A = this chain, B = another copy of it.
Amino acid sequence: MKINVDGNDRRFKAVWFENNDVRLIDQRKLPEELEIINAKDSDEVAAMIRDMAIRGAPAIGIIAAYGLAMAKIKGEDMDKAVKKIGGTRPTAYDLFKAIEYMKSNNFELSAATRYSNEISGRCKKIGEYGNQLISDGSKILTHCNAGALAVVDWGTALAPMRVAHDEGKNIFVFVDETRPRLQGAKLTAWELLQEGIDHAIISDNAAGFYMKRGEIDLAIVGADRIASNGDFANKIGTYEKAVVAKTNNIPFYVAAPGSTFDFSIKTGDEIPIEERSEEEVLIINGKNLGPKGSPAKNPAFDVTPHEYVTAFITEYGIFRPEELHRMQNLIEKDLFMRSA
């Protein structure tokens, strides 16, 4: 992805391998600081996933792949390393897909690199397919961050917007701030700013207002896990946006690479939903929002039923929920995906 550092555009990945360590952009510090941090063993990789120094389903898969390759190089007990990294976050399917891939490739560093490059290349394809859905002048809603930071480059939901912008289409992005962790306001807005894509941050409450007023032409979001029938888990709030989009006849697209599709489960009811700490809701910038003594509840994801999805934008093309069996066939013939 393009990041402007001291006035110069430079290219970065969200995570990579260097000098036997895993290196990554600390996403908790954005947009204020661009800080690169190192993870030196599988404990540190697990901590960084759990504490969300890195997040986004494809990126979690990629750091898991690099983390396991590093653990192997450094002579760690691989069963323990797999358990530690696999036990960090339950919802994103890419984590388990990446672990399977690394297992079947003997935890080689070359496999981790291939995994990262494959997923990134596939996201570029998502961008190209998704670009077909975007017109000059399109106003697009997105939720959370499904950008380059959530992959290693390109992004999923943001990839079509990048390609459309690169082709010279004028687009405008409504960025849901995405409480509680504000990945929209902090990460998506920051990515769009780096790329020079026109946008505005809105409170999550305002998306319906703009949908009802006819000011949003389409919505594109990412996914953390997609079931065989097209039900999908994504950042909390996605379900509300999808329901309100359907009410207003606004196409609602889900952009994700094959690694996010879990054909081992039939419906979204089988997707485990992570509950995170109440502090994420109650504390912003170190200060309590509410009164001391009021508790909070904090589900990190919700499941949107497939009937709210217009189509999935993938590296294989664009599929309506009822067409996902065709995509499953393509994945089964896909050497890279099959090896996971």
> Which residue numbers of A lie inside 8 Å of B, CB to CB?
30-31, 174-175, 177-180, 182, 185-186, 189-190, 192-193, 199-210, 212, 235-237, 239-240, 243-244, 247, 281-282, 284-287, 289-299, 302-303
Contact = CB atoms under 8 A, between A and B. Distances in A.
A76 B142 CA distance: 51
A204 B205 contact: yes
A232 to B, nearest CB: 14
Given A179-B177, A299-B209, A203 B293 contact: no
A303 B182 CA distance: 25
A283 B82 CA distance: 41
Contact of A212 (B185, B296, B302): B302
Contacts of A303: 212
Contacts of A286: 285
A31 B193 contact: no
A179 B201 contact: no
Contacts of A247: 243
Given A189-B291, A209-B236, A201 B282 contact: yes
Contact of A201 (B31, B201, B292, B294): B294
A189 B236 contact: no
Contact of A243 (B177, B236, B244): B244
A205 to B, nearest CB: 3
B239 A193 contact: no
Contacts of A175: 294
Contacts of A290: 31, 177, 182, 185-186, 189-190, 201
A298 B208 contact: no
A51 B300 CA distance: 33
A281 B177 contact: yes
Nearest to A240: B208
Q: Which one of A30, A177, A236, A240 has the greatest number of beta carbons of chain B within 10 Å? A: A240
Contacts of A179: 177, 179, 203-205
Nearest to A182: B289
A57 to B, nearest CB: 18
Contacts of A243: 208, 243-244, 247
B236 A298 contact: no
18 contacts: A31-B292, A177-B290, A178-B205, A180-B205, A182-B289, A185-B282, A185-B290, A190-B291, A193-B294, A202-B281, A202-B297, A204-B205, A205-B240, A208-B237, A209-B239, A243-B247, A284-B284, A285-B285
A37 to B, nearest CB: 20
A244 to B, nearest CB: 5
Given A177-B179, A281-B177, A296 B209 contact: no
A192 B247 CA distance: 33
A281 B200 CA distance: 11
Given A174-B297, A285-B285, 7 more contacts: A31-B291, A190-B290, A200-B294, A201-B289, A203-B281, A203-B298, A204-B237
